[in-house]
Amino acid sequence: MKISLIVLLFLILPGCNIHDNTKTMNNPPIANAGEDFVGFIGDEITLDGSLSTGEANLTYNWSLISTPQGSSFSLKNANSAISTFIPDLIGEYSFRLTVSDGGLASSKDFIYVDITNPPTVTVAKWHDNMDSAISFDWDDSNLTHCSVIAPLFDKYDLKATFGVITDTWLECYQTLSSNGHEIASHSKSHKVNFGFYDVTNDEKRNELEASLKFLTQEKLIKPTLFIHPWNSIDLNNILYDEYYLFSRIHNLYDTEENYQANIISSHGLEFFIDLANKNNGWLKIAGHSVDGEGWQPIKSSDLEDFLAYLIKQNIWVDTHSHIALYQMARTHITANIKNGKIVLNDELIDYELLRSYGVTDLPLTFIIDSIEPIKISGYLTCNDYPYSGEGLMFDYNIMSQAELVYESCAN
C-alpha cells in the first residue's frame, strides 16, 4: 500500500508542474509595407503599414533606405503605421518597415516608390477635341425656321440658334426650345439700330428689357444670347451685358479666333470650312430663311448639303451659347494634378452668374498627357482608354463642381 501511494504521488505531481510552467506562444508579427507604387513630385506621399499583422500593441518604424542623390526630406510619423513624406526630387525612394510585438519578435518589409512629374492637364480648344467650331444663328422670326430649317438640323442631330423678334413671336419656337435648339433675343421690335448715335440708351434698354421679360416671364425661356438688329455695334455703351451673357456681334468674351459670315447660296462649302479652320477658330454663321422667304433666303437643298458635309468633318456644330460658354470657360480655367486630385483653377468663373441664366450643364473636354491608363472617379475606369493622340480625354461638367479623384492604373 505504501509503495502504491508513492507511485501515485509521483505520477500526479509532475503533471501539476508541467501545467503551471506552460506559456501561451504569441503569433509572430508580419510586416506589410504595401505594394510598390508611383507618386508625383510635390505631392504628400503616404506609406501605409496598417495591413501588418500580429498580436495587439504592435510597434512600427519606417526608415529610409535610399533616395535620389541630393534629396533631403523628412518622414512624418515614422513610428506610426502610416507615415508621410513630400518628395523633392524625381527618382526612386525605398523604405523599410519594421514591426515588433514588444518582445523579441519583429518583422521587416520593403517598399519602393517611383516619383515622377505629374501629367499635365489641359482643356481642349473645342468640345471632344474638335478642330474648330461652327454655330448657325437664324434671325428675324421667319416661318421657315420651324417648317424647314429646324427639321433639317434635327435630321442630322445638330442644334441651331433662332433669333426671335418677340413682337412677332411664333408659337413653334416653344417646340424648338424643348427639342434642344437655342432661342435668342433679336430685340423686341427690330426697329432700333444700336449703332445710331441718335438712338438713346432708354430706347435700347426698352428693346433689351422688353424682349427679355417676354421670353422669361411669358414663355419661360431664359435666353443667354442677344443678337443686335442689323448686326449693329453699340457705339455709345455696351448695354446688352446688363441683360444677356453674350452678343453675336459685340461680345465681351470674343477673341481673335472668332469669325462671322452670312450664309447665302452662292458661297461654296470650302469658304465656310476654310473660315472655321483658320486658327482652329469658331465661325458664327448668320442666316435668315430658306426657299424665297424673308431676307437673303438660301436654298434648303444647299443647307442640307452643307449639314451633310459638316457631320463628316472634325468640326463641332452646336448652338451659339453652347460654344460661347465653352470658349469662355476654357479661356478662364486651368487645371493640374495635386495629391491625387485634378484641381481646377477656376476663380475667374462666376458660377452664380451662370446659374442665374439657367446654366446647369457646361461640359469641358479635358486632356491628360498620359499614354498610361488612369482612372478618375465617376469619369474614367482602367478599362476606358479614350486616347486622342494628345493624351487621355474625358468630359467634365464644371457646373457640378464634383471632386475629380485621379489614380494611375499601374498602382
Q: Residue 407: pLDDT above 90?
A: no
pLDDT at residue number 267: 62
Residue 250 is assigned to a structural domain of this protein: yes
- 236 falls in which pLDDT band (50, 70, 90)? low
Q: Residue 399: pLDDT above 90?
A: yes
pLDDT: is 300 or 27 the higher one? 300
Reported as a single tens digit per residue, the pLDDT across 283-307 is 999 999 999 878 889 999 999 999 9
pLDDT: is 382 or 217 the higher one? 217
What average pLDDT does this structure show over 263-292?
Answer: 81
Q: Could you give the number of structural domains in the chain? A: 3
Q: Residue 243: pLDDT above 80?
A: yes
**Which residue among 116, 145, 178 closes a domain?**
116
Reported as a single tens digit per residue, the pLDDT across 60-104 is 999 999 999 999 888 999 999 999 999 999 999 999 999 998 776
Q: Are residues 165 and 112 in the same domain?
A: no
pLDDT at residue number 253: 64
Q: Are residues 146 and 264 in the same domain?
A: yes
What average pLDDT does this structure show over 7-35?
Answer: 57
Instruction: Report whether 395 contacts 365 (CB < 8 A).
Output: yes
pLDDT at residue number 314: 93
pLDDT: is 392 or 95 the higher one? 95
Q: Are residues 294 and 363 in the same domain?
A: no
Q: Are residues 168 and 255 in the same domain?
A: yes
- 1 falls in which pLDDT band (50, 70, 90)? very low
Domain of 261, CATH number, reads: 3.20.20.370
Sheet containing 106-116: give its strands across: 37-40, 106-116, 91-100, 59-66
Q: Are residues 197 and 270 in the same domain?
A: yes
Residue 2 is assigned to a structural domain of this protein: no
Q: Are residues 101 and 212 in the same domain?
A: no
Reported as a single tens digit per residue, the pLDDT across 159-171 is 999 999 999 999 9
Residue 11 is assigned to a structural domain of this protein: no
What is the extent of the structural domain holding 205?
135-324
- Looking only at the bridges linking them, the beta strands covering 132-138 and 161-164 are parallel
Q: Are residues 200 and 87 in the same domain?
A: no
Q: Are residues 92 and 228 in the same domain?
A: no
Q: Are residues 312 and 218 in the same domain?
A: yes
- The share of the chain scoring above pLDDT 90, in percent, equals 64
Domain of 77, CATH number, reads: 2.60.40.10
Instruction: Report whether 107 contacts 98 (CB < 8 A).
Output: yes
Q: Are residues 168 and 259 in the same domain?
A: yes
Q: Residue 318: pLDDT above 80?
A: yes
Q: Residue 191: pLDDT above 80?
A: yes
Q: Are residues 351 and 312 in the same domain?
A: no
- 250 falls in which pLDDT band (50, 70, 90)? low
Q: Residue 373: pLDDT above 80?
A: no
Q: Are residues 303 and 338 in the same domain?
A: no
What pTM, to 2 d.p., does this model score? 0.82
